[in-house]
Amino acid sequence: MDNGWLNRSQFLLERTDLENLHLKVVDKLGFNPDIIILDPPRDGIYLKALPKILESGAEKIVYISCKPTSFVRDLKVMEAAGYRMEKCVGVDMFPNTVNCEAVCLLSKLSEAKNHISVKVDMDEMDVTAAESKATYHEIQDWVQEKYGFHVSHLNIAKTKRKCGIIERQNYNLPKSEESRSPETPEEKEEAIIEAFKAFQMIKP
């Protein structure tokens, strides 16, 4: 008891009608606790008392349940108030029955620390992000299946440049400016462009 007093821990117990029990206990708190340990009867926490418990703003709640249905009911209310179940351990104290004892830890979510709302406009994304939507092999397979002919990596790379899709740095550049590679046939170029559209690498 002395340690509990030093830690500002309070153990509150009332013997009265269940309808008013939880309200009396909550009213006796007198301060906002950091942690609340709830050990209600099988019917769970009295519904009028639960909102008052949650208004205390305790960072953590330990809920000891002996009836799954009432716990699930109370859990929904606690989650709606911004609590998240971090851990739950079941203990079979009632063998050969449908009931099971459970000890669950819930923590209060802080929007400032845990949630960040981000809006992304896909039109403002760098085109290099679009380039990652499909690999060369995927484009080759798509063209082969759709048009029945093969396109080379060089064909795809040249068409990407024409469409403004920035390639990663190429370390296999020609040794001289005089080195020329053949132009991509128009038929293949059009097929590759259709593949880009199919993979949402460019707008239709």
Q: How far is CA 66 from CA 41, 84, 91, in A?
A: 7, 20, 9
Q: Which of 98, 54, 100, 94 is nearest to 74 (CA)?
A: 54
Could you report how far apart the first and last alpha carbons of the chain are, in Å?
A: 74
Q: Which of 105, 202, 190 is nearest to 163 (CA)?
A: 202
Task: Say how many C-beta atoms besides its own lie within 10 A of residue 53's C-beta.
Answer: 23
Task: Say how many C-beta atoms besides its own lie within 10 A of residue 36's C-beta.
Answer: 17
- d(CA 145, CA 199) in angstroms, rounded, equals 14
- Pairing assessment for the beta strands 35-38 and 83-91 based on DSSP bridges: unpaired
Mind telling me the catalytic residues?
Answer: 66
Q: Phi and psi (nearest 5°) for 74?
A: -70, -35
Half-sphere exposure of 26 (CA within 13 A, CB side): 21
39 assigned ligand-binding residue: yes
Binding site members for S-adenosyl-L-methionine: 39
Binding site members: 39
